[in-house]
Amino acid sequence: MGNINIRALAKELNLSISTVSKALKDSYEISVETKKRVLALATELNYSPNPYASSLRRKKSNTIAVVVPEVADSFFSLAIKGIEEIAQEKGYHVLVYLTYENYIKEKKILEEFKNGRVDGLLISVTSETTDSAHISDADLNNIPIVLFDRVIEELEMAKITTNDFESSYAATRHLLDGGCINIFYLSISKCLGINNKRIEGFIQALSDRNIKFDDSNIVNCSNDINDNEHLLTALLTQNNKPDGIIAGVEKLITPVYSICKQLHIKIPEDLKIASFSNSPVAHILNPSLTTITQPAFEMGKMAATILFKAIEKKGYTIKSENAVLRSTLFIRESTAPAATGLCPSFDLF
């Protein structure tokens, strides 16, 4: 009934509590005979140890926390999947927290980790997060932390990222090669480091080709769908019309495509589009979408793997671990050069 504990087993078997405890842990101190008896009764009575008693005593929760801005997004879903897979292998439990791109929420959530609730933390910060004191705080409590994807540069902690500058550069270059001369970058946040790197890659590619541009070529989108629709409609109807777009985040593709359809803007003839995206359906979109695809699942796995290195080896520091994985540019129809038909999709790198 759940209320069967180690004491009940001990009583039933005429053994001491500690003997039972050790037997259940398969301790070498206990005779094979006794172990058998204990195990038999345990399974018979459907005994299951109370994890919190154990956590309290051992100061170990066997639980990790994953804090992400969003889950209904291919990147984060895949990352969580990677994390969960490793955690399951290691016998750990995974607490998932969503921040909804809200810094206050993120801060409040991290408060919960200063007290032994989790043995480690994996986090990808919100687009509002500039201050990182809340993360340092968690660090001060000696819980190992791995930042992934949306990291904070200044923090001296383990970081798993992708080659954002290079992949953004490559995508921009690809649009330029296709004949674009007025490309706009759709950004999600002014403060996100990862976003800035992507923007830098974008700008560098333009500079390298001596294409003129200014701040207005960077469009700051919001987290609100309606706002974005207005913003994007304005962008696509303004005088200085874009002939190319790089979307810094997957969720902007739906409104962009919809608006183009509405306004009869032809992709890729009138407008070429590439997006950072992990959507599995990019290649069956109309037209199929050129994407910069991050190895989300692998990032999750790697982040978790590094975290467990710190958790398992006490005192071992992972603070300088700094993996940069490579994204892949999948070239598809949405960026096909003029007068060409269907491009087969392929991996650029």
Partner DNA sequence: CTGAAAGCGCTAACAA
Partner DNA sequence: TTGTTAGCGCTTTCAG
- Nearest CB to a copy of itself, comparing residues 176 and 247: 247
Q: x-or-dash pattern for DNA, window 241-280, by CB under 7 A?
A: ----------------------------------------
Beta-sheet pairing, 218-220 with 244-247: unpaired
**Which of 17, 39, 77, 325: binder of a copy of itself (CB under 8 A)?**
77
Closest to a copy of itself by CB, 7 or 190: 7
DSSP 126: -
- Assign 68 to helix, strand or coil: strand
CA dist., res. 146 & res. 138, Å (int): 11
Phi-psi region of 14 (alpha: psi -120 to 50; beta: other; left: phi over 0): left
Distance, in Å, from the CA atom of 175 to the CA atom of 335, rounded to the nearest integer, reads 7
With CB under 8 A as the rule, give the number of residues binding a copy of itself. 57
* Strands 158-162 and 183-187, sheet pairing: unpaired
Minimum CB distance to a copy of itself, residue 263 (Å): 14
The token duo for 324 is 């940069």
Mark residues 34-73: x for contact with DNA by CB under 7 A, - for none: x--------------xx--xx-xxxx--------------
**166/250 with CB nearer a copy of itself:** 250
Our finding on whether 141 is near DNA (CB under 7 A) is no
Of 36 and 81, the one with the shorter C-beta distance to a copy of itself is 81
Residues 211-240 that bind a copy of itself (CB under 8 A): none
Q: Is 28 in the site for DNA (CB under 7 A)?
A: yes
User: Rounded to the nearest whole angstrom, what is the least distance from the CB of residue 46 to DNA in the complex?
Assistant: 12
Q: Is 87 exposed, middle or buried (0-12, 13-18, 19+ CB in 10 A)?
A: buried
Partner in contact with 30, chosen from DNA, a copy of itself, none, beta carbon below 5 to 8 Å by kind: DNA
Phi, psi of 236 (to 5 degrees): -85, -5
* DSSP state at residue 347: B
The single residue among 107, 211, 270, 283 that binds a copy of itself, judged by CB under 8 A, is 283
H or E element that contains 288: none
Give residue for tokens 């919809």: 258
Are the beta carbons of 123 and 99 closer than 8 angstroms? Answer: no
d(CA 55, CA 64) in angstroms, rounded, equals 13
DSSP string, 166-228: HHHHHHHHHHHHTT-SSEEEEES-SS-HHHHHHHHHHHHHHHHTT----GGGEEE--S-HHHH
240 near DNA, rule: CB under 7 A: no
Residues 137-176, one symbol each (x = binds a copy of itself by CB under 8 A, - = not), give x--xxx----------------------------------
Binding site for DNA (CB under 7 A): 3, 5-7, 14-19, 21-22, 24-25, 28-34, 49-50, 53-54, 56-59, 115
Binding site for a copy of itself (CB under 8 A): 1-2, 46, 48-53, 55-56, 61, 63, 70-74, 77-78, 80-81, 84-85, 88, 93-98, 105, 111-112, 114-117, 137, 140-142, 251, 253-254, 257-258, 261, 279-281, 283-288
